[in-house]
Chain A
Amino acid sequence: GQNIDQPTEMTATEGAIVQINCTYQTSGFNGLFWYQQHAGEAPTFLSYNVLDGLEEKGRFSSFLSRSKGYSYLLLKELQMKDSASYLCAVRGGSYIPTFGRGTSLIVHP
């Protein structure tokens, strides 16, 4: 079966750096995605990793270790607008994506 684990909630201060972890156990692996979802809105794509290593995109970076079944999303220079839920999703061998429950990030001044 598929299992995705990520923390339920995290808090951080504006301007700081926060790392959201995601561990997974899947049958096969065809990529890991991170999405951002603001309350009442649809998820929006942040990053995609299929090979080990770090992918950097502006203030957001995502890391993947396939051997450890582990990924993290790094958010730098936090802004209030970064308060949202962050979803980790893994596409398994069947190409069906499995989503984690999401990590609710609260950024305070």
Chain B
Amino acid sequence: KAGVTQTPRYLIKTRGQQVTLSCSPISGHRSVSWYQQTPGQGLQFLFEYFSETQRNKGNFPGRFSGRQFSNSRSEMNVSTLELGDSALYLCASSSGQAKETQYFGPGTRLLVL
């Protein structure tokens, strides 16, 4: 079974721009969660999508948004980029059941200049 894939793997943007990151979950998984990881704050939950609906949301500003498609692929968008948005963005998929663990993708490393 193929793992979670994320594209692109690396990205450089400038302040004020917007960015879209993509995540393809493990086949059969309907839940996709997004996380931001920085050295200072660690791993922080952004949001979770399940069957095309946002099921949970973390404490991030509205500049961070996402969506999920009928094939469970998910995209995350960050608008009006700030320097502090430089981070590793991780996507994790699961079946969506409470006891199931999440499987992380390799991440997209975003650098905002």
Contact = CB atoms under 8 A, between A and B. Distances in A.
B42 A31 contact: no
Given A42-B90, A43-B90, A96 B45 contact: yes
A60 interface: no
Contacts of B90: 42-43
Nearest to A101: B42
Interface string A57-101: 000000000000000000000000000000101000011111111
A30 B98 contact: yes
A96 B56 contact: yes
Given A95-B56, A96-B56, A96-B58, A45 B45 contact: no
Contacts of B56: 94-96
B107 interface: yes
Closest 5 CB pairs of A and B: A42-B104, A99-B43, A101-B42, A45-B101, A96-B56
Interface of B: 33, 35, 42-45, 48, 55-56, 58, 90, 98-99, 101-107
22 contacts: A30-B98, A31-B98, A42-B90, A42-B104, A42-B106, A43-B43, A43-B90, A43-B104, A45-B102, A50-B99, A87-B43, A94-B56, A95-B56, A95-B98, A96-B45, A97-B33, A97-B45, A98-B45, A99-B43, A99-B45, A101-B42, A102-B42
